[in-house]
Chain A
Amino acid sequence: MSSKEYESYYVPAQSHWPIIGAVALFLIAIGAGKYVSVLKTGEASWGGYVLLFGIAMIIYMVWGWFSNVINESMAGKYSHQMDNSFKQGMSWFIFSEVMFFAAFFGALFYARMFSVPWLGGEANNAMTWEVLWPEFQATWPLIKTPDGTETTAMGWYGLPLINTILLLTSSVTAHFAHVSLEQNKRPQLKAWMWATVILGSVFLYLQVLEYQHAYADDMKLYLDSGIYGNTFFMLTGFHGMHVTLGTVMLITMLVRIYKGHFTPENHFAFKAASWYWHFVDVVWVFLFVFVYVL
């Protein structure tokens, strides 16, 4: 190890963070399992507490684990190759997230292209329609389900359009932040990061307003309002959770920037956060087109 003929690949020693993470996931799973199981009966249960405790534990784990990684990185233990491992790991993680959304988009497309028209008698389903639900009108958005649940459709004009503009702009600002970091322009970097974080937060706030509008005002658009409400809330809901996570990442990066972390050459965490941000933006574009506009 004395001669520097080799660059080093750092293999960490024993770590207690993974096992803490495994226990945390266990608690989350049983807590959520119990919590959901008794939801309908309304009985009191330990589920919620265990779930919250598990979530606290996973936050503690992420904190501790990433602190380790940051310290190792700042101590110069990492190499170019290590950086590549992280980058590839993050890209494939994002790809797995894409596939998660793909499942829900798949459900949306299937409902729109097959199940709803078929319930209305299309293809070879004339008898299904006539025998089961002859009153049923196949439309999209599905504002009246076969069993008669009624709802209204969320338009794309207004909040969703504003949100689209916000998120797309934030993608651009995130990119400028990245460029500033690479050119070592710290003041600009901070400014662009602030802009991104603020845009993201406003997006989330408007999303909450939109949900309130759906639930509280006269829209009667609920999670259980048939396949339109199902896909609407599951897609926008999971997207919202991802934006929240992305915003937390960006805020963490901002804090680290103020602490003087990152160099123009070495800023994997920043890159990861910004990739993640671009990913949630792209998902939104698909959402906007297929959930709201079309």
Chain B
Amino acid sequence: MTTEAIHDSHDNHDGEHHDHKMTGIKRWLLTTNHKDIGSMYLWFSFIMFLTGGAMAMVIRAELFQPGLQIVDPDFFNQMTTVHGLIMVFGAIMPAFTGLANWMIPMMVGAPDMALPRLNNWSFWILPFAFSILLASFFMEGGAPNFGWTFYAPLSTTYSNGSTAFFVFAVHIMGISSIMGAINIVVTIMNMRAPGMTYMKMPLFVWTFFITAYLLIAVMPVLAGTVTMVLTDTYFGTSFFDAAGGGDPVLFQHIFWFFGHPEVYIMILPAFGIVSTTIPAFSRKKLFGYSSMVYATASIAFLSFIVWAHHMFTTGMPLFGELFFMYCTMLIAVPTGVKVFNWVATMWRGAISFEVPMLFSIAFVILFTIGGFSGLMLALTPVDFQYHDTYFVVAHFHYVLVTGALFSIYAGAYYWLPKWTGFMFDETLAKAHFWCSLISVNLLFFPMHFLGLAGMPRRIPDYALQFADFNKWVSIGGFAFGLSQLIFLWVVIKCIKGGEKAPAKPWDGAEGLEWTVPSPAPYHTFETPPKID
């Protein structure tokens, strides 16, 4: 069945039939256009990234030297907590949703997302949710200080006055994620152009498809978790209190049942992005497309049965320790398949090193380092030593910063010409890449050693023997923070003008998005393209 989109324009008759967008703020508040909404998601996530980044700067400033010098310990804890919450839920996830919004309809040849009004709602909830979270800094007792994982009883018995606001902010943010995910799933299942069978979809689309399922499955569990925290704190329940028959460890089970799939929500789309850019700049087809699809699906499946690898030291029964150890190590298999496929795609390709490719190659190498440290953490006996040390911090920053974030940069540079109609400033962008690459490793690599030497995470002060490494880590941190401003500069410059971008600026690029002009017109594929 073929379809043609009908764009409704009853409420503005400005004559321009094909570009009937409103002007000013109203355009953004009321829009149903996937490109507008995608742009808003991307800008929002970047603002959140800078906000969370500022908090990281406070953390690194405090840790520059041993001793307490800049902030008091409670405020330090608020910084680590809100930094984590903002980066996970405010920066990485919305950035991916923004990319999904912009690219998926174009990649599958659809006129828009399947449920455009719902799409607008999903986005606009986010600024409100994060305003609440940030406003809690000004409330009595300050912002949440129990870590982004809000373990009970820190978040219940010992929490400060703003916990209820935290809970409801997470609730509405979760509503936004679920609706956004439903929209992605429905768009992919129902809006593909005729002939675009599932196994012909770009891998980018596949990874978002699977990610959206993960979101629909686990965001409600997060909602349940925060609800129990709420009732334990304010209504006298004892889900997480042994005195009433509950168990604080139950909190960790429910949280990580959400939490581990959540970390894959932040990495599967990254796999999709680099699986798009690497073939484009290697001028070869993606090696092992179908194995990539199956690997993604099996990672998603396995992510539901490994959650307790975050809980090896809670005193689980031995069988639990073994089960979760082996299942976790099993994830390395499909992950390895992916890394192998990316390398095989580059093998004997005619590679050129444009900025998106630089970020993608860095992704492959550095994400693999993060995967290896994950594998080390997955070994129950050694995790007894590594758990809650800087080694864990190093691990998850390698997978999240040089993994997820770098892939977002790769994607952003890859599609910027399509979004703005102009080529970005290559020199500046390269500066952004090299500054980021060097500083990020200075920032996170020494953390491995700090962790192995026993420096605990989430502390504002530390023993003297960790001083030297911490100094270098902080310097790397400031440098990385500053380097991200270059990106802002590149983007603004690229929006303002530059060399005109052709419809397909990368000669090896494939996909429907390159068949439309740059910048992509406000409405694309009102009549579905033919796919063979």
Contact = CB atoms under 8 A, between A and B. Distances in A.
Interface of A: 1, 5-19, 21-23, 25-26, 28-30, 32-34, 36-37, 39-40, 65, 77, 79-81, 84-85, 88-89, 92-93, 95-100, 102-104, 106-107, 110-111, 114-116, 118-119, 123-124, 132, 142, 145-147, 149, 223-224, 226-230, 234
A92 B185 CA distance: 9
A260 B6 CA distance: 27
A79 B253 CA distance: 44
A132 B456 CA distance: 29
Given A11-B5, A96-B219, A142 B245 contact: yes
A115 B253 CA distance: 12
B191 interface: yes
A127 B32 CA distance: 61
B158 to A, nearest CB: 15
Contacts of B385: none
A29 B169 contact: yes
B16 to A, nearest CB: 13
Residue of B9, B217, B235 ringed by the most chain A CB atoms within 10 A: B235
A12 B112 CA distance: 10
Contact of A15 (B120, B246, B257, B317): B120
Interface of B: 1-12, 20, 22, 26-27, 29-32, 110-112, 114-118, 120-121, 124-125, 128-129, 131-132, 161-162, 164-165, 167-169, 171-172, 175, 178, 181-183, 185-186, 189-191, 216-221, 223-225, 227-228, 230-231, 234-239, 242-247, 249-250, 253-254, 257, 317, 523, 527
Contact of B3 (A12, A79, A104): A79
Contact of A13 (B10, B162, B317): B10
Contacts of A102: 220-221, 224
B5 A223 contact: no
B175 to A, nearest CB: 7
Contacts of A81: 1, 3, 190-191
B9 to A, nearest CB: 5
A26 B173 CA distance: 10
A85 B186 contact: yes
Nearest to A22: B124
B172 A18 contact: no
Nearest to B230: A36
B171 to A, nearest CB: 7
Q: Quick one: which of B22, B31, B236 has the most chain A CB within 10 A?
A: B236
A79 B311 CA distance: 50
B220 A111 contact: no
Contact of B29 (A19, A33, A89): A19
Contact of B32 (A15, A103, A114): A15
A200 to B, nearest CB: 23
Contacts of B182: 89, 92-93, 96
Nearest to A222: B236
Contacts of B230: 36
Contacts of A229: 237
Given A8-B5, A11-B112, A79-B3, 19 more contacts: A6-B527, A8-B3, A9-B110, A21-B124, A29-B169, A33-B164, A34-B164, A39-B234, A80-B1, A89-B183, A92-B181, A96-B219, A98-B220, A102-B220, A103-B228, A146-B245, A147-B244, A228-B245, A230-B231
A6 B112 contact: no
Contact of A89 (B112, B165, B186, B220): B186
Contacts of B253: 106, 110
A111 B114 contact: no
A45 to B, nearest CB: 11
Contacts of A23: 128
A229 to B, nearest CB: 8
Judged by DSSP, the binding face of A is: helix
Contacts of B114: 85, 88-89
A227 B2 contact: no
Contacts of B249: 115
B32 A12 contact: yes
B254 A9 contact: no
A17 B227 CA distance: 27
Contact of B20 (A13, A15, A99): A13
Contact of A32 (B125, B168, B225, B250): B168
Contacts of B132: 26, 29-30, 33
B105 to A, nearest CB: 10
B30 A16 contact: yes
Nearest to B165: A33
A110 B120 CA distance: 39
7 contacts: A6-B2, A14-B12, A16-B30, A25-B128, A28-B168, A224-B236, A230-B239
B245 A115 contact: yes
Contacts of A142: 245
A92 B110 CA distance: 20
A29 B244 CA distance: 29
A9 B165 contact: no
A95 B181 CA distance: 12
Contacts of B250: 107, 110-111, 114-115
Nearest to B318: A124
Nearest to A136: B245
Contacts of B186: 85, 88-89, 92
B69 to A, nearest CB: 33
Given A33-B164, A223-B237, A227-B246, A95 B3 contact: no
Contacts of A37: 161-162, 164-165, 234
Contacts of B217: 95-96, 99
Nearest to A118: B247
Contacts of B20: 13
B30 A96 contact: no
B186 to A, nearest CB: 5
B245 A8 contact: no
Nearest to A36: B164
Nearest to A77: B6
Contacts of A33: 132, 164-165, 167-169
Contacts of B219: 96
A12 B164 contact: no
A14 to B, nearest CB: 4
A7 B3 contact: yes
A19 B117 CA distance: 10
Contacts of A89: 114-115, 118, 182-183, 186
B222 to A, nearest CB: 8
B244 A100 contact: no
A238 to B, nearest CB: 9
B30 A107 contact: no
A123 B281 CA distance: 57
Contacts of B3: 6-9, 79, 81
Most chain A beta-carbon neighbours within 10 Å: one of B8, B131, B228: B8
Given A30-B165, A33-B167, A85-B190, A96 B116 contact: no
Q: What 4 A-B pairs have minimum CB-CB distances, sorted nearest first? A: A103-B224, A224-B236, A227-B245, A18-B121
Contacts of B527: 6
Contacts of B2: 5-7
